[in-house]
Structures are given as C-alpha cells and as structure tokens.
Amino acid sequence: MRRFFWNVLTDIDFHLPLYLVSTGYWIHQPQVVRREGYKGFQWIQCFDGQGMLEIEGITIPISKGQGMLLYPGVPHRYYPLVEPWTVQWVEFNGNFADPLLQSLNFPKSLVLYITKPDILLAKFNEMNSLYSLRTSMSSYDGSHLLYGLLLDLFRYTSTSDTRSNHEQYEHLKPVIDYIENHYDQQLTLQNLADQLAVTPHYLCVLFQKTLGTRPFEYINRFRIRKAKEFLQQSPALEIKAISCKVGFESPSYFIKLFKKNEGITPKQFRDLHAIT
C-alpha cells in the first residue's frame, strides 16, 4: 500500500525559503535505484521492518527509529531487507534548504537515529492531510510544517545511537536550573559540575556540544538577560546595584561586557526601552 501527495507548485512556492514538493508513505517500500541522485532533498523515515541504503560507497541498514536525509544529486540505492519495510517521506527544496541544513549540522546525506519518532510522525500526518485537502494557504502552511520538521530533526536525532540534542539538553538541565537559581552568586566550574557528578572538564565538553558555548559564557549571557529585565522594569535602580544583583563583582566589567554583547551601554539600553 502506498499514498503519494504532490504539491501543485506555483510561484508562491518558488519564492518561499522552503517548500514541500511531495509527501507520502509506503507500507511495502520497494527497491529504489537513483544512479544520478534525485532532484530534491528527501527525508525518509522508517516505521517498521528494515531496509538498506547504499550511498557514497557505504552500506547502512535502516531500521525502525532511523531515517535517511538525502541531498540532491547524490547517487544512491535503497531496498527492503525485512518486510514490510514501512517508510514515510517528504521531498522538499527552496533557497534556504541547503543553508538551513548546514546550520543544523546536517552538512551532507546522513542516516539519523530518532529519539522521538512519534513527534516526527505527527508532522508527517499533518503534511499528508494538508496536501490531500489542498487549500489556498497550503504553500505557506506546508513551508511552516517543513521548517518545524527540520527543527525537530535537529532536536530529536543524532548521527549515532547516542543522545539527541534534546536528550543532551535534558541531561544538562540540572546545571541550567542551578545557574538560573544562583546567577546572583559566585559560581565555579566545580559548583556546576557537582550538579551532574561529573568533572569540570567533562562539563565544559557537554556545554560546548549541547549549547555551542562554554559554561561561563552562558552564565554571563544569562546575567546580561537578567540585567536587561532590571534595567527596563526597575528605572530607579542604579546600574551599579543592578551589576551586583545579577552577580557581577565589578560594575565596570559589567558595563564592558554588556556593551560587547548588546552593542550599547546599560544606560543606553535603559533609555531605549524606557516605559513612558
């Protein structure tokens, strides 16, 4: 059994940064051989059975809880191993497709492990429903759903059978919560590492991998965020006092860091966002 839902592409689609070309599913996915690759980007997710992907000289099994992100123009072949090999797919394109995938750290065709397949299934079902009905707003709604799907791939997948970005964040969350509750105090790497019972070095690795920043860079950004709240909501509070309230021992360092992050001084920020 199979169902295909094709978008009726118009100039509206071609002017969107992302647009859906087709979506659908196979209950018994047959062999597909594309010696010159395919013209669009594809995400093909396995929900039952097992198949095999041959691409760029390697052979990779694709089982339930995995999917294939395939770039255009890359020769590939995939075929069933354990039937029924059940998959859902979406084909997409757009001027923003490649740069978005690059920024999400999907630089090439990849096999991904999925930690929350039901979340992605819900997106597939929405897309299938959208294009089975086809309304005047389908192009915009489809682009919106597609963007959400790609963000979910970033959040809930990994390139190996390890933690996804979402799971890494959940693992780090006790430290994030600790920072949010103690940002006004003196913090050390050891304080933070103790929240996870790990070494300070491993904590730095975890921060870099999960948030793309170091622990104290994150702390400073959080303190700047809290400072902005005080600057806007407490106009009578002196900047020196705000500096102390958000955990900075030196007001001059606070002002310097604030300007580096925001491009303006705390006073200029307060004047710009003053409630009149």
pLDDT digits (tens, 9 = 90+) for 189-213: 999 999 999 999 999 988 988 888 9
Instruction: Write the pLDDT tens digit of every residue in 66-91.
Output: 999 999 999 999 999 999 999 999 99
Q: Are 12 and 138 in contact (CB under 8 A)?
A: no
Closest by CA to 211, choosing from 247, 175, 263, is: 175
Tell the burial category of 157 from Cβ atoms under 10 Å away from its Cβ (0-12, 13-18, 19+): buried
- Res 136: pLDDT: 54
Among candidate residues 30, 235, 275, 247, the one with its CA nearest the CA of residue 266: 235
As a whole-number percent, the residues of the chain with pLDDT over 90 amount to 75
**What are the pLDDT digits (tens) for 136-164?**
568 899 999 999 999 999 999 987 655 66
255: CB partners within 8 A, 6+ apart? 239, 243, 265, 266
Q: Which domains does the chain have, with CATH numbers?
A: 2-158 (2.60.120.280), 166-273 (1.10.10.60)
pTM above 0.75, yes or no: no
Q: Which residue has the tokens 């923003």?
A: 96
Closest CA to 101 of 33, 53, 41, 14: 41
Q: Specify the pLDDT at position 133.
A: 73
271: pLDDT strictly greater than 70: yes
AA identity, residue 33: V
Out of 97-101, 127-131, 229-233, 234-238, the most confident range is 97-101
